A and B are shown apart, each in its own frame.
Chain A
Amino acid sequence: MSSIYLIDFYASSGCSFFHRRHVIGKFIGYLLLLLTTVFTSSLYRVGILLIVALTLLFIAGIPLKQALKWAAYPAFFALIFALAQLGSGLLPYLTLARAVTAALFSIFFFTTTPFPEFLSIFSGISKGLVSFLLFSYRFFFLLLSTVEKKLRIMKLRGGMCWKRLPMNLAKLAGFFFVDFIDRSETIYQTVALRGFTGQIFITSNKRFQFTDLIFIVGILFLISGLLWI
């Protein structure tokens, strides 16, 4: 089953130096590293950035095996693009390296930042969008356990054989689709009773500290050094 719930687990339960940083500082640092990766056309520099990403994940206490497993997904799609670029020197390798490195930086940011904290960045921009994102985040965990339970039941009753699999999966999805109508009505009525007006404002409970500034400056130094060598 899906393992992306682990990202939320690492973000919420971790207590490394990066977990304690303010979301704005981390977000700026993440954007700087991501954009450097995307704009770099040197395999050598992307290689260094890849090592930086793995080091950051290691320091943050994220299992590298799991992070690389997640990074296999963008690597697969980058491979299609890379194969189409064969015959153009190092470009295919660069395409692969950039996709994996950028994905690892994203994984680093989201495994060290709880999702509600990430949403606090957007609270000032669109409260409607933030409430939609929060609902989706909450429902993801609610549905994950239900979907897992239903799939287990289906498996135990022999519904996973290839002959019947598409129809059984379709019926299961259909069941959920119908169920969503009723559940969404109930949930909306419940939150409306509690005063929900379509907008939720989230703030980070951490304060932007001097260490956060040092974190950003450190990343800027790293990028400057990378461009200089």
Chain B
Amino acid sequence: MHIHIPDGVLPFWLWGGGYAVILVLLGLFSNFLRRGGSKIALAAMFTAFSLIVMSVPLGLPVHLNLLSLVGIILGPIWSFYVAFVVNLVLAGFGHGGATIVGLNTLLLWVQAAAAYYLFSYLLRPIFHQVSLRAAAAVFVGLIISFGFLVLLAALPHQRPMQLFAPSHHHHHHAEESEHAIHHHAEEIEPTEIDGHHDHGQSPASDETFNLTVFVGLSGPLFLLVAIFESLIAAGVAGFIVKVRPRMLIR
């Protein structure tokens, strides 16, 4: 599972930066596409499968993504292409986030690449049973991806520690001077309903984002689906080890 960042919640420098990073990565990895051979067809199949899985909501508009598993099987470079194409298609096909394709790709790629390295190297000495290792790699990969999401949500704000304040207005205690309150109110440019204050900037850059609420709302949901996805990963890995072990045991 991943939180699909919608359009208009992050400032331009952040989503533009996301696009810049993936353009550089697309350029760097372009040789893999040219010399891919049958791997192109295989990665495209995983992309199509991921698209199907991601377009099936589990009650709420929440879904599995299985990209960590795809990362374990295809490796970090091909999983980058899978993450990019999945986000590009989903952005157009109803999930939104056309301006955030770069960052959403990085979010998915981080979990796929992390799961790959965890499964192939870091967790190998700890978990000898492949299914357990896959479950742990997927779970940690998802947690890393969530951490990255929280970082992205926090980045537009200049003073990250203040983000964890219970509420925007609670910054101001009763004992604070009237001057301090007045000064703070001047700092924050309110969202205009009459349409006379467009400066081409996202209001997300205002210091009005409560990260505690964000983590409190998305965290439990994320954790629940991450556990479910890890269980699925364990099952998939167990099945593959029985049927075609060379896919996972390198």
Contact = CB atoms under 8 A, between A and B. Distances in A.
Contact of B9 (A44, A87, A95, A171): A95
Contact of B193 (A42, A138, A189): A42
B99 to A, nearest CB: 5
B232 A136 contact: no
Given A140-B52, A181-B244, A184-B38, A41 B192 contact: yes
B211 A41 contact: no
Interface stretch (A14-22, A73-81, A204-212, A214-222): A73-81
B43 interface: yes
Q: Give the interface residue-count category, chain B.
A: 35 or more
B235 A106 contact: no
Contacts of A201: none
B218 interface: yes
B42 A88 contact: no
A133 B46 CA distance: 12
B18 interface: no
A180 interface: yes
A137 B5 CA distance: 23
A176 interface: yes
A32 interface: no
Contacts of A103: 6-7, 94-97
Interface stretch (B85-93, B107-115, B119-127, B139-147): B85-93
Given A2-B56, A77-B5, A78-B6, A106 B26 contact: no
Interface string B46-62: 11110111011100111
A45 to B, nearest CB: 5
Contacts of B40: 131-132, 135, 188, 198
Main secondary structure of the interface of A (DSSP, over half): helix
B34 A198 contact: yes
Contacts of A84: 153, 209-211, 213-214, 217
Contacts of A72: 61
Which of B34, B60, B204, B232 has the largest count of A CB atoms less than 10 A from its CB?
B232
A142 B48 contact: yes
Contacts of A99: 6-9, 96
Given A74-B6, A133-B85, A173-B66, A143 B37 contact: no
A225 B194 CA distance: 14
Interface string A93-114: 0110011101100110110000
Given A39-B201, A74-B6, A177-B46, 18 more contacts: A37-B8, A41-B191, A77-B96, A81-B153, A84-B209, A85-B209, A87-B167, A94-B203, A99-B7, A102-B6, A106-B98, A128-B36, A139-B49, A143-B48, A166-B235, A170-B239, A173-B232, A177-B247
20 contacts: A38-B7, A41-B197, A43-B193, A73-B61, A74-B7, A77-B3, A91-B203, A102-B7, A128-B34, A128-B36, A131-B33, A136-B89, A139-B44, A140-B48, A143-B52, A166-B232, A170-B239, A173-B236, A177-B73, A198-B34
Interface of A: 1-4, 7, 34-35, 37-45, 70-78, 80-81, 83-91, 94-95, 98-100, 102-103, 106-107, 109-110, 118, 126, 128-129, 131-133, 135-140, 142-144, 147, 166-167, 169-171, 173-178, 180-181, 183-185, 187-189, 191, 198-199, 227, 229
